[in-house]
Structure 1
Amino acid sequence: MVALSYQGVGAVNRVGRFLLVSQLKRGSQSTTYKGYDPETQQFVIVKIATDELVSSEDAAQKIAREAEIYAANRHENIVAIVDFGNEGFHPYLVLEYIEGATLRQLVATRHGFPVSIVLACLADILQGLAKLHGSGLIHRDIKPENLILSSKGIVKICDFDLASGQIATAENTAGLTGSAGYMAPEVIYGKSISPRSDIFSLGVLTYELLTASRPFQAATPTAEIQAIVNREPLPANRLNKETPDALLVFISRCLEKDPRQRLQDAGQALTLLRDCFSFPPENERRQLLSRWLNNPDAC
């Protein structure tokens, strides 16, 4: 990385043409920065493989695979790729920067979303997820941290598993893991996964957006995994009395322990929601989400 300064963003390092403004997150596999692209004069997200990943894995191939998936699945509800490359043997991936907040940040501060907001978020999430499922891909880590509500009122899916460098496909599904509270039973048992595994995670997410708690929440990740396998959740309307019956049915069909009984993919889940609820036109949905992001009391 080359150190320099740039008007308007202060002292930074550079990766390729991109200026690194501030570090956002560091993990064992990658470090994430807020960056700046002088060519477009736009902020970006830059993910750089760590020494640990470079020394132990074919990091360049993994980053290239993830970049290929982003590029092949351009969609309004999926974070867009800007570039990828290598800098000093460290592969990097550059993504669009989204002004807004993750759903995790909003769950932590809003203590349960209004039903209208939950439905608007689900419509966006399912449209993006349907794009992936239609391409034969499985995200396998659908959770609030990996979903961003932009200031324009658009929910976008991000974080396509940089840790393992690939999204699961129908040919590559055994032995994968996810985030403990969102893992489908078949994932816990180490069986092959499918789009239905993402649907289970979506059911957990829907419950959490409504109630600010996960359906199988427990004191430890191990206890939560055991609950996913062994017990049924408390109905969401016991925690959020505004939850309509149709949304209870939707959650129940997502959280079926047997994947054969679950909604089959994002396309089927979106069809079910549209059959049960009247969604406003897209521009009105954008306005609703944008207003709520900036002023939750306005919705």
Structure 2
Amino acid sequence: MTIGSQRNLQVRVGFVSETGKRAANEDYVAACLGQTGAFNRDIVAAVADGVGGHKGGREAAELTVRCFFDAYYSLPETLGVRRIASRALEAANSWIYQQGRVDSRLSGMSCAFSSMILSRRTCHVIHIGDTRAYRLSEGRLERLTKDHVAGRGDLAHLLNRAIGFEDFARVDYAAVGLRQHDRLLLCSDGVHGVLGDDRLQVLLDERASPEETARALVDAALAAGSNDNMTALVLDVVDLPPADRDELTHAIETLPILELPSSGDTIDDFVLDEMLSDGRYSRLFVAIDKRQNRKLVLKFPHPRVASEGSYRLAFVREAWVAARVRSLWIGEIIEVPAGRQTRLYSVMPFYEGETLEQRLNRSPQISLTEGIGIATKLARAVATLHRAGIIHRDIKPDNVILLTAGGLRLVDLGVARVPLLEDFPAQDIPGTASYMAPELFNGRTGDEYSDLYALGVTVYRMFTAAYPYGEIEPFSRPRFGKPVSLSRYRPDLPAWLDAVIGKALHVDPTQRFGDVIEFAHELENGAMWAKPAVAKRQALYDRNPLMFWKLLSASLIILVAILLAWR
């Protein structure tokens, strides 16, 4: 097994080639994980199968692969993958075609050829003959090549296209988007000729190492009665480079924003089930992916609220962040395979659990221990974004999912402030008023301190179901004084907690904590050395002021009556 990493594209590759029942092995297989110091660092893998019945089959296979690799890495990268690959294979074809006509020992030399070129987030396939390329992605096996054979039945094994057949090679080209954990297969007809696609998928699905899987494929082909040479190359995509801004923007700009769907609709083989929310900006559904038979969440933009440009910008941001920030605390965005998506929406995993908003609206109230655990996890999520230079700008209980298993996910990154990405127009800069820091009402675009403030409001509300400065209406100009003490709503909570949250809520950003990790540290330390205050019975004046004054007045009347009687 070989492990390679180029431009953050990480792969594992293994291959096996066996002679089988033939006298000699006329297959040739190779992989190159990029060339250090070269302009072109794409990952290239290829399988060639010398045509039986012709002289020089093995020579044709080996020369084609070696010539293809040498030419591919020598041509300038600015030509683009397809043009480079076509020129490289044409050079190999021309040399072999001429050699087979001037050297009687190699008369008619030719071979089938399939190559996969992994460049950033795309797999480019160049192919001629009856070798094959497959991709196993999310449990689905897809054949990426078409056999160039004369016909069916007795002619099914006769090629009508191959390297060396003509002075100009008529090759097929295809490109497919890559996903993390995709598994790619190149094989000769000695393997796929006796193993159907279903059997290939079973062996690939076992997810052994690439070399072990390649060995299993060859052994299965031999056991199935293959009379040909058998070659299999398996390549696993371990990691992908993140999509850049231009790639995301181009992909999203081509998708239309349509009217909102309803439960029961089917969109691109996603069956929409329960509606999770129907807000001002978007509508969310639980959905079933018919292709992968899994539960997901789809978010559709509302076409009538904000400008279309701002909607698209929000989707670019979510995809950009999801590609770069991989964390147990941050919600994911699932990339839809190229060609499947016909309208603008985003796809997310379905997280078993409830939002923090749902939790605080049901009994019992969140205890000190439970609340500190949630708050520290949420602080780690926010810190993860801040380390990447990302400002969330809409931290609130609705955007926090408490997982059934005990974890937490911070979601809804479409309004985040992201480095290198254009910000929203001034009139569209988002935020939920009751969670917005005072400086944001003066035109600031948001930073770590405003996220810390929103985190403080979220923690305050988690314990009290109230807002520290009262609920603030959108587009209003609120006045900020001193936040309402926690003890008004929760006298059972300790004073230190009120002080810690109060510092995060300070009107002056410079008087807040240095960062969210410091806030989390204070919460954790306070939880270790302090205990919740013992609940005290409230004074009558606090519980019922009217009754207090009535009793006081009655007492005074009785006292006056006694004094008058005594005199």
- Tell me the TM-score normalised to structure 2 length: 0.42
Instruction: Return the index of the structure with the highest Cα Rg.
Output: 2
Q: How far did residue 48 of structure 1 move?
A: 2.0
- Summarize the Cα distance change of 1:254–1:225 in structure 2 as closer, same or farther, 3 Å threshold: farther
Deviation at residue 196 of structure 1 after TM alignment: 0.8
Aligned ranges 1:15-34 → 2 under 5 Å: 15-34=267-286
Out of 26, 29, 44, the position equivalent to 2:296 is: 44
> Equivalent residue for 1:119?
372
Task: Mark the runs of 5 or more structure 1 residues left unpaired by the alignment.
Answer: 1-10, 280-299
User: What is aligned with 1:257?
Assistant: 507
SS at match of 1:277: helix
Name the amino acid aligned to 2:351.
I
Q: Which amino acid aligns with 2:503?
A: R
Q: Are the equivalent residues in 1 in contact too, given 2:513–2:519 (CA < 8 A)?
A: yes
**Cα distance change on mapping 1:174 and 1:203 into 2, 3 Å:** farther
Q: Is residue 126–residue 266 contact of structure 1 (8 Å, CA) maintained in 2?
A: yes
Q: Which amino acid aligns with 2:454?
A: S
Matched with 2:89 is: none
Aligned residue for 2:528, secondary structure, equals: coil
Distance in 2, Cα, partners of 1:73 & 1:150 = 19
> In the alignment, is the contact (CA less than 8 A) between 1:21 and 1:33 conserved in 2?
yes
Contact 1:33/1:45 (8 A) holds in 2: yes
CA deviation vs aligned residue, 1:23-81 (integer Å, no higher than 9, x gap): 33334543211111245432111112343379732655542331121221121122222
Q: TM-score, normalised by structure 1?
A: 0.77
**Which residue in 2 is equivalent to 1:128?**
381
Is the alpha carbon distance of 1:41 and 1:178 closer, same or farther for their aligned partners in structure 2, counting shifts above 3 Å?
Answer: same
Q: Is contact 2:469–2:480 with CA below 8 Å preserved after alignment?
A: no
Unaligned stretches of 5+ residues in structure 2: 1-262, 530-567
Q: Does 1:167 align with 2:420?
A: no
Q: Which has the higher helix share?
A: 1
1:1-299 matches, cutoff 5 A: 12-52=264-304, 56-57=308-309, 59-60=311-312, 62-84=314-336, 87-88=341-342, 90-110=343-363, 112-161=365-414, 166-169=415-418, 172=423, 175=426, 176-218=429-471, 221=473, 226=478, 229-278=479-528
Cα deviation for residue 265 of structure 1 reads 2.5
- The 3-state SS of whatever aligns with 1:65 is helix
Displacement, 1:170? 6.2
CA distance in 2, matches of 1:33, 1:213: 28
Q: What is the number of residues matched between the two proteins?
A: 261
Residue type matched to 1:121 in 2?
Answer: I
Q: 1:40 to 1:179 in 2, by over 3 A?
A: same
CA contact (8 A) 1:133 1:265 kept: no
- The amino acid that maps onto 1:194 is D
Any idea what SS the aligned residue of 1:138 has?
coil
Distance 1:46 1:173, change over 3 A: closer
In structure 1, the partner of 2:11 is none
CA RMSD of aligned residues (A): 2.9
- Highest RCO, 1 vs 2 (Cα 8 Å, sep ≥ 6): 1
Task: State the percentage of identical aligned residues.
Answer: 26
The range that moved more, 76-85 or 185-194, is 76-85
Whole-angstrom CA distance in 1 between matches of 2:388 and 2:464: 32
Asked if structure 2 preserves the Cα contact closer than 8 Å seen for 1:129 and 1:266, the reply is yes
